[in-house]
């Protein structure tokens, strides 16, 4: 498990796809849900969230994700410890 903090960004899809920026830098969110709050406040109707480590970039509308996240793969436990 990594201690790296995941930051999320938003690609606005209401017109031509555009990375949401503040002072020239991509706007950073702490979670994908935070993008929903931002969109509601600013009247954004469709967007993509990027930044997930698995590469899944779901498309969102104000009604929620259009293509929801896939189920996580089952975890396979391996042990390299010998007794």
Question: Does position 10 have pLDDT exceeding 80, yes or no?
Answer: yes
User: Tens digit of pLDDT for each residue in 43-76?
Assistant: 999 998 888 666 667 788 888 777 766 676 677 7
Q: What distances in angstroms separate CA 30 from CA 4, 10, 37, 62, 63, one per listed residue?
A: 12, 11, 12, 18, 20
Question: Does position 3 have pLDDT exceeding 60, yes or no?
Answer: no
H or E segment at 25? strand 25-26
User: Tens digit of pLDDT for each residue in 23-45?
Assistant: 999 898 988 889 889 999 999 99
């Amino acid at each position: 498990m990594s201690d790296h903090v995941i930051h999320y960004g938003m690609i606005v899809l209401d017109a031509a796809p555009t990375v949401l920026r503040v002072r020239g830098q991509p706007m950073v969110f702490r979670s994908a849900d935070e993008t929903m709050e931002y969109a509601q406040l600013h009247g954004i109707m469709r967007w993509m969230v990027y930044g997930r480590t698995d590469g899944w970039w779901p498309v969102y509308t104000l009604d929620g994700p259009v293509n929801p996240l896939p189920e996580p793969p089952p975890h396979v436990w391996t042990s390299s410890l010998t007794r």
